[in-house]
Structures are given as C-alpha cells and as structure tokens.
Amino acid sequence: MIKVGIIGSTGYAGAELVRLLLGHKNAEIVWYGSRSYIDQKYADVYRNYFKLVENICRAEDMDALAEEADVIFTATPQGLCASLVNEEILSKVKIIDLSADFRLKDVAVYEEWYKLEHKAPQYIEEAVYGLCEINREKIRPARLIANPGCYTTTSILSAYPLVKEGLIDPDTLIIDAKSGTTGAGRGLKLQNLYCEVNESIKAYGVASHRHTPEIEEQLSYAAGRPVTISFTPHLVPMNRGILVTAYASLTDRSLTWADLQAAYERQYGGEKFIRLLDEGVCPETKWVEGSNFVDIGWKIDKRCGRVIIMAALDNLVKGAAGQAVQNMNLLFGEPEDEGLRLAPVFP
C-alpha cells in the first residue's frame, strides 16, 4: 500500500487528489495537510466526503510528513514546495509538486516570470517534467516530479506530434486557451467572484502569461531548437475544463488530415488517456469532465495553409490531480490508469 500525504489538500486540486486516491486500490492517504483548516475534520471542509473521510486536517509539515508517507503531493502556490524540500526529505520520500517550482530548467526564467526567488535551484536539473505521455521513462526512477498544469498540458500535447515531426512551423504557433474558474484556485479573489465571472468571458495575461515559457521549453525539446509561441488564456464562466484552439502554418501545404493523423497515432496511438477524434469532430469540455482524458482534433485550412488544432481536458484531473496520480503510478510500478478509470461525467 502506497502511503500518501497531501500538502494543500483543501484547495481544489488537493480535493480532487482525495477523490481520485479514495478510488485507488493500492493507495492510502495518511496526511491531509492544510494551512487554513488545521485540526478541523476534512469532511467539514468538503461535505461531499462525509462518511468517506474521517481524518482531520494537519499542518503543512513536510519534515514530519516524510516520516509517514511514501509520496507527498504538494498542491500549493508557487514557491512553497521549493522552500520546504531538502536532501533529507528527498532521501525518504518522493515528491510530486503541482506548482511550477520545478517545471522550468532555467532558474532565471522562473524568477522573471513568477516574480519569486527560487529557494531550491539545486534540484531544478534533477526534477523530471511529469508529462507522462512524453517523459514516461524518465519519470519512473525519479524522486522529484514537476507536475504540469492545465494550460500547459493541453497546449503541449495538442501540438507536440506535429512539432516533433516537423509538420508545422512552431514559431507560427498561436494558442488560444479557455479555462473554467477552478483553474484560478480556491482563494478569495475579487475577479473570481460569481458576479464578476458570470455572463462574461475575458482574456488575461495577454502576451505575458507565466505558462508561456513552460510551453515553449517543452515544444523546443520536440523541435530540437528554441521555439517562440503566442499564448493567450481566457476565463470562461464554468467550473471545470480547458479548451485550446491552436493555429500554425504547415511546412507543406499538400499535407492532408490523414497525414497529420498518422503523426498523432505514431506519438499517441498506445496512450490510455489521449483520445484522437474522428475527422470533423471537435473536442468539447463536457465530454472530458471528471476524467483524465485529453480529446484532440484538428482541421486543415487549405486556403491559408494552416492547421487548426483543438484539445480539451478537465483542468482539475488531467490538468492537475489526475496527472499527479498518473505520475505516482509510474513511480511505484502501478498500472498507469489505476485510480483513473473514470468515465467523463455528463450532464
């Protein structure tokens, strides 16, 4: 049995980790960490866990937790995991960090985009970027996983095969992404209040969103050279979901839908959680809600010589907690889909 500790268990991603791990046959949550609800019953914070979770919330004490757990999930704001991790802890326990602390390999880039001093730069090179479909074999022996977020997972997975095989010019890539409000976390923020979000849609972080360098870094590995993209996120009035619509110039205007399908099949044909849609079918967030699936579709605009790539996922599952559990399964030799065999919820 894998003993699991969660720091940040009362945030949206943390609560989703609880939901998934309760259905994992070989995992037991031994620590529900929370800064805001110490000594309160977890089921009093989230009443959906009434009669399912009897534990109380405990402090965010990584040193003590490392003595009890085999793996620690840190579902916390940027900067916290880096401030807590050290060699003694990593010698005892594996860490899957859901923040951005170890996703970028250049500490200067992290500090520029996140406006934070990195507290543990010595572990950046060791940390493995936990996008399972791309880095599976690097993840298995790791002790520190940088779990990708929702915008980045959708953006990278949607374009990766076409960039890797040279079928698009990655420097022409424009990514238009839309997210439900849970992507902003559970903290009280004026711009996320119901009356501020409802009946509206807005772009934010235009030409400056901090996930941009992360997408660029991973696509640069695929391209074998530095890549620069244009990324614009939008907030939409729904609870869950990410929809990416990306545009890029084809390197050969004679390429067909089937040519691109072959590239996606070569990269993702055996993947459990990537669903390549039939020609003419566009992804919708409602068909992935509550699941660990990513739905990907594409259409060629012959008139412009461009491809339009579309992808949808649940930002709290494949975009956060589900991906983290997928990483845990790889670390501990479990079936990759253990605890994640969930059909999307509809309606």
Distance (Å, whole) CA 270 – CA 191: 41
Q: Residue 282 carries which DSSP code?
A: P
Find the catalytic residue in 150, 195, 282, 304: 150
Tokens of 55: 């534990």
Q: Name residue 134's amino acid.
A: I
Cβ-in-10-Å burial (0-12, 13-18, 19+) of 51 comes to: exposed
Give me the DSSP letters along 91-159.
TT-EEEE-SSTTT-S-HHHHHHHH----S-GGGTTT-EE--HHHHHHHHTT-SEEE---HHHHHHHHHH
- Tokens 């994640």 correspond to 340
Q: Which residues contact 254 (CB under 8 A, 6 or more apart)?
A: none
Peptide bond into 347 cis (omega under 30): yes
Active site residue 150: yes
Distance (Å, whole) CA 314 – CA 283: 12
Among residues 72, 296, 42, which one has the least CA distance to residue 162?
296
Give me the DSSP letters along 24-50.
-TTEEEEEEE-SSSTTSBHHHHSGGGT
The sign of the dihedral angle between the CA atoms of 113, 117, 122, 128 is negative
DSSP H helices, the chain, are 12-22, 42-45, 62-66, 80-84, 87-90, 107-114, 132-139, 150-164, 194-197, 212-223, 257-268, 322-331
- Tokens 């890549």 correspond to 227
Q: Are 93 and 87 spatial neighbours (Cβ–Cβ below 8 Å)?
A: no
Q: How many CA atoms lie within 13 A of 37 on its CB side?
A: 18
Tokens of 90: 């990593």
Q: Mind telling me the catalytic residues?
A: 150
